[in-house]
Structure 1
């Protein structure tokens, strides 16, 4: 980078080949919020999302020839090899530009990236805190917190403990930097209908469930932390959100874990007279409160997704609640005008085909949608070496196509038919499949 050139960063979001929509909820959080963290330093930013941006290789070479100050790659586990390919090309063209990688991939298998061409691998603490600290340490001898950095003295990558960023300092989605028009076009081409982009803002971090296969506890910690409600509405008013979307996803591992925060949010929404709808993800047990569900419905919550994972016919309970608790929440949500969506893992340990059929019978009877993903033991990747990871088909660890016939009682036909049907949804016969 020449002395005259202003600092700028290039972000890459990698391609999700099986997605039926561009997953804009995640783009707003994992890409948009990280862009804002960089922009706070007065840096310029370029975003290249391979879901919707598929130029020739020449285009990316031209990007690297501009000698960016940083290249940041947001990477999921199944995208690791592609991230390495892009990083290798970047280093050939602009060898002095640091290449950083963050995302679910570095939470479950940081060792894969602890080798050239990567300069920094996010390993602990909040990702935005790590990015901020990396920029703050440029030109100093202090190692940035939260990153694994190669040490010439020790001739190996050394992991540096990360930090938690105070919620009042969390970055917000930088919508002007996201290719929102391309996202809308992507979905129109896929669904054949007009589409208003679903956007999101992080309102909470932390989950104390500690599910081994989930990256949230490791990435966010166990303690629930909440963004100030005034900051949420400030972003809503100033970001241009209302011009681009009718529905806001309140991004959180367990949205209703803090009922006081939810109560205050709903009351502020009602006081302001807002009209946008909103949704989120939470647990069944966090919704066992009629007053808070009713208030959420009054504040125009239209959908809540809850983790069911599986339903055992023999024990007649879900993985995380009793059937009676689930039925109670469905009734309260329905009475409040809120649609409930069950999150289900096909191939969940101990699950058989009869369990899945029982769950579909339940969903049809109670009128709730199910969203299927494939149980993928991402936590097992932590114990593998980089050489072992190179030897496996890491692309299959995508929560869609991962299928281990020896570890599940489901047949391949049974599994994959549900993964692709209606974009991975079970939709009751009296419900419109396009509404998902």
Structure 2
């Protein structure tokens, strides 16, 4: 059995102009790579087309899939890439009507089997963790699918779920992702500009799930449980990336890298003892942070810690996530800086209940914090998030899937306008980055992150061209 995995590009920008996001940030499709490695370890042939890395799109991509003549094709799609993936599936079905087409990923898991009632070119859905489900589907040659948990299929023409798939209890039983199936890894891939000291670099996921209940988070793939790789597995994973691909820095893309204190401490001790030449970034929750943990992170090679702050308005935070005192945020971030690591703050604008006044409080608050960098997303109500259920009662929602990528205001809270949100977003970015302290921080990147500077200069013509288009 030979399975071809396709990771469609979709819309990853703001609905107009050239998409230049790959210049700033291009990470490998880790979920797809994990499933591919699982199948490969059990004797199946796998191929991967990552459209972000190859540039394949449209009819040319259909031609390429047909040329390879796979036994089955699996698409992994976000909400914004789903319709592009489906257009490819339709083109494929016209050319290879007997080839099974399977869809998985965040959008399939959040919407569920109703997709089969609306999109006839899809034969099966893989819902939840995909490794064991897709293997069993392929091993059974797509027969008796109703007996395989985690499969969406049609019964009497209606989308139906076979049964819920149990979560993988021990993540250490999974092989490392099939990075080797990406034709230009790691050269083609890179973490966000100025977020790493060394290249080549990549991302790693060492846990699945989250026990928290933020209103805006989609947990439909891994659910609310929290499972993780052992410290020994993680260190071996980093050693493999360093040995086989020359990786010198990784970003732990886990929602809760620091959730289990014992795991993090053991990882730091092992990594420090082995003198593994790989630095890293991670995402932490403020309640997990203290001086002892930060010292461990720093000694083991942590370069940057990211924190989800979201808003500077206490009432907005209380409505959407576990509340954490705003004064304490400032104290914890200062501790990270004193420990010798960079600090990045993650914010979100346009949440239900926000107003111009609350967003301005967020902007003013962010300017007070000891942050080196920020990332500001535009709130997007994804189908699997708790807030999606009554989102239309809280404002105007344009459920245009290709634009649902956290880069467009598809939702406008009651009492606000889209133009108002865009203006506040631009003001936030402008006021944060047009400060002497931030400019000096980026000047230091000449010696702290020389690879970022070289990458920036290499793509300067494209960046300037985009800036000119935005102004006009």
Please give the TM-score of this superposition, normalised by the length of structure 1. 0.83
Residue pair 1:349, 1:408 contacting (<8 A) in 2 also:
no
d(CA) in 2 for partners of 1:344 and 1:332?
20
Change (3 A) 1:137 1:419: farther
The SS at the match of 2:336 is helix
Change (3 A) 1:8 1:353: same
d(CA) in 2 for partners of 1:249 and 1:208?
21
d(CA) in 2 for partners of 1:423 and 1:69?
51
* Shift, 1:418, TM fit: 3.2
Q: Which residue pairs with 1:3 in the alignment?
A: none
* Shift, 1:295, TM fit: 0.8
d(CA) in 1 for partners of 2:232 and 2:189?
33
Q: Which residue pairs with 1:202 in the alignment?
A: 205
d(CA) in 2 for partners of 1:268 and 1:218?
33
Change (3 A) 1:70 1:139: closer
Q: After the TM superposition, which of the residue ranges 82-91 and 115-124 deviates more from structure 2?
A: 115-124
Change (3 A) 1:241 1:64: farther
5 Å-filtered alignment, 1:182-193, equals: 184=188
* Shift, 1:26, TM fit: 5.0
* Shift, 1:306, TM fit: 1.5
d(CA) in 2 for partners of 1:410 and 1:381?
20
Change (3 A) 1:328 1:25: farther
Q: Which residue pairs with 2:216 in the alignment?
A: 213
Q: Which residue pairs with 1:148 in the alignment?
A: 152
Q: Which residue pairs with 1:360 in the alignment?
A: 363
Q: Which residue pairs with 1:412 in the alignment?
A: 419
The SS at the match of 1:275 is coil
For structure 2, the residue ranges without an aligned partner over 5 or more in a row are 14-19, 392-397, 453-472
1:138 to 134, 141, 144: 141
The superposition leaves residues 20-78 of structure 1 with CA deviations (integer Å, 9 ceiling, x where unpaired) of 23787752412322221221122332222222423472453242244312211110101
Q: After the TM superposition, which of the residue ranges 157-166 and 18-27 deviates more from structure 2?
A: 18-27
d(CA) in 2 for partners of 1:120 and 1:249?
33
d(CA) in 2 for partners of 1:408 and 1:195?
46
* Shift, 1:280, TM fit: 1.7
| Structure ranking higher on relative contact order (CA contacts 8 Å, 6+ apart) | 2
1:9 to 3, 7, 23: 3
d(CA) in 2 for partners of 1:424 and 1:176?
42
Q: Which residue pairs with 1:388 in the alignment?
A: none
Residue pair 1:107, 1:218 contacting (<8 A) in 2 also:
yes
The SS at the match of 1:78 is coil
Aligned length: 417
5 Å-filtered alignment, 1:21-420, equals: 21=22, 27-55=28-56, 57-110=59-112, 111-114=114-117, 115-124=119-128, 126-138=129-141, 140-143=143-146, 144-151=148-155, 154-159=156-161, 160-165=163-168, 166-180=170-184, 184=188, 196-215=199-218, 217-240=219-242, 243-287=245-289, 289-312=290-313, 320-368=323-371, 369-379=373-383, 392-407=399-414, 409=416, 412=419, 414-415=421-422, 418=425
Residue pair 1:311, 1:358 contacting (<8 A) in 2 also:
yes
The SS at the match of 1:218 is coil
d(CA) in 1 for partners of 2:71 and 2:389?
31
RMSD of aligned residue pairs (Cα, Å): 3.5
The superposition leaves residues 80-123 of structure 1 with CA deviations (integer Å, 9 ceiling, x where unpaired) of 21111011111122222211111111132222344411111122
The SS at the match of 1:223 is coil
d(CA) in 1 for partners of 2:187 and 2:414?
37
The superposition leaves residues 285-327 of structure 1 with CA deviations (integer Å, 9 ceiling, x where unpaired) of 122x221121111111111211111111779989531112212
* Shift, 1:139, TM fit: 5.9
d(CA) in 2 for partners of 1:63 and 1:420?
44
Q: Which residue pairs with 2:459 in the alignment?
A: none
d(CA) in 1 for partners of 2:24 and 2:317?
33
Residue pair 2:314, 2:326 contacting (<8 A) in 1 also:
no
* Shift, 1:232, TM fit: 2.0
Please give the TM-score of this superposition, normalised by the length of structure 2. 0.77
d(CA) in 2 for partners of 1:24 and 1:35?
23
